[in-house]
Amino acid sequence: MDLISQIKKIESKISSKILFNEKLSNYSWFNVGGPGKVFFTPRNLNELSIFLKNIKNFDNIKILGVGSNTLVRDGGFSGIIIRLGKTFAHTSILGNDRIIAGGSVLDKSLSNFAMQNSLSGFEFLSCIPGTIGGGIRMNSGCYGEDISKILISVQVMDFNGKVHIIYSSDIKFNYRDCNLEDNLIFISATFQGVKKDKAEIKKKIDYLVEKKKKDQPSKIKTCGSTFKNPKNNKAWKLIRDSGCAGMKFGEAHISEKHCNFFVNEGNAKSSDLENLIKVVKKKVLEKTGINLELEIKIIGENFEE
Ligand SMILES: Cc1cc2nc3c(=O)[nH]c(=O)nc-3n(C[C@H](O)[C@H](O)[C@H](O)COP(=O)(O)OP(=O)(O)OC[C@H]3O[C@@H](n4cnc5c(N)ncnc54)[C@H](O)[C@@H]3O)c2cc1C
């Protein structure tokens, strides 16, 4: 049975929203990209499990947070996009100093929730515009902190609809990466905080947010750092020193303020951004011998005319 026929059958079993040919540009910070063939927002865990159990012989599935690290190609995505909605945006306190947060909780909201409960360790999350799910996948972080340092465990659902708990100690976290398999949906996570004075936590958050505003551009269509920083080096410096500052491809530009931020200046196509990425990668390799590795994720197919 083809994908759409399978989905039509599932639709009669659940009440969650399933959209067809949904514009994915609305779900990526770059604001580019074609449609997603099937776009599923599960109403709850049970419906997510029913959905996955009923999909047969199909593994072209991608999970999306708020798309602050994802470039969608112009041809869209011919599989299933799963995006956790509001029902997965819960936060609660466990015991005295732990927090359980759903996979779609915004990093900023978790930081705020921790502050309200006098728990420190989450301040850096105020500077990251993604979700907890995206944060775990990317091991997101800044200013010397990252998710791996506060994560105790993550509750996941595999593509067979089964739930597992994975402890942080069993996950290998690297810089902007972890070894959890791509066929796992992070539905919630437990974090460890440290009790501290609320005013002190707020002071740190305000300081970091202000610092971030000074260091990086804001209110633009970007996915943040395009490339990972190579060991003992900075991607933005390598890009600048290779003569790529201010480079453009169509309406895809390199930010004036931060060379590693690529920006859709208006109506860029995904292919403009990808071409800019390719040119910069080549120039940096030629000039410095360093092969930059992408931090952003690219999904979907090229547009065929
Ligand atoms: C202005 C700006 C500043 C930024 N600054 C920083 C920074 O300081 N530090 C930093 O680390 N990053 C930064 N980023 C990048 C980005 O915000 C982070 O990578 C963030 O964690 C991505 O979260 P997301 O929900 O947007 O993920 P998405 O872009 O939606 O997805 C990213 C990856 O996570 C996976 N994923 C998302 N949700 C789930 C889930 N529930 N289960 C399983 N997999 C999932 C996706 O499949 C994909 O592989 C910045 C981005 C912008 C736009």
> At 277, is the secondary structure helix, strand, or coil?
helix
**Catalytic residue selected from 22, 123, 274, 295:** 295
Residue 117 CB–ligand 1 contact under 6 Å: no
> At 243, is the secondary structure helix, strand, or coil?
coil
Q: Cα separation of 41 and 44, whole Å?
A: 9
Residue 297 CB–ligand 1 contact under 6 Å: yes
Q: Cα separation of 287 and 295, whole Å?
A: 21
Residue 84 CB–ligand 1 contact under 6 Å: yes
Distance 207 CA to ligand 1 centre (A): 22
Residue-level pLDDT at 59:
84
DSSP annotation of 43 reads S
Residue 73 CB–ligand 1 contact under 6 Å: no
Domains contained in the chain, CATH given: 3-83 (3.30.43.10), 88-213 (3.30.465.10), 217-299 (3.90.78.10)
Q: Which residue has the tokens 């398999």?
A: 181
Is 293 one of the catalytic residues? no
Residue 27 CB–ligand 1 contact under 6 Å: no
Residue-level pLDDT at 36:
97
**Structure tokens given for 176:** 């902007």
pTM of the model: 0.97
Residue-level pLDDT at 301:
92
Residue-level pLDDT at 304:
65
Residue 42 CB–ligand 1 contact under 6 Å: no
Taking phi over 0 as left and psi of -120 to 50 as alpha, with beta for the rest, 294 belongs to beta
Distance 136 CA to ligand 1 centre (A): 8
* Regions in the chain scoring below 70 on pLDDT: 304-305
Residue-level pLDDT at 305:
54
CB 64 within 8 A of CB 84: no
Residue to mutate, 137, 171, 180, 185, ligand 1, most ligand atoms under 8 Å from C-beta: 137
Residue to mutate, 26, 31, 40, 69, ligand 1, most ligand atoms under 8 Å from C-beta: 69
Is 225 one of the catalytic residues? yes
Q: Cα separation of 184 and 82, whole Å?
A: 11
CA-closest candidate to residue 156, choices 247, 84, 228: 84
Tell the burial category of 136 from Cβ atoms under 10 Å away from its Cβ (0-12, 13-18, 19+): buried
Q: Cα separation of 26 and 36, whole Å?
A: 11
Which residues are CB-contacts of 121 (< 8 A; sequence separation ≥ 6)? 114, 145, 149, 150, 191, 192, 193, 194
Taking phi over 0 as left and psi of -120 to 50 as alpha, with beta for the rest, 242 belongs to alpha
Distance 7 CA to ligand 1 centre (A): 28
Q: Cα separation of 119 and 197, whole Å?
A: 8
**Structure tokens given for 189:** 């996570």
Question: Dihedral, CA atoms, 183, 189, 192, 196, nearest 10 degrees?
Answer: 130
Is 176 one of the catalytic residues? yes
Q: Cα separation of 131 and 103, whole Å?
A: 7
> What is the CB-side half-sphere exposure of residue 26 using CA atoms within 13 A?
7
Residue-level pLDDT at 6:
94
pLDDT digits (tens, 9 = 90+) for 260-276: 999 999 999 999 999 99
Residue 62 CB–ligand 1 contact under 6 Å: yes
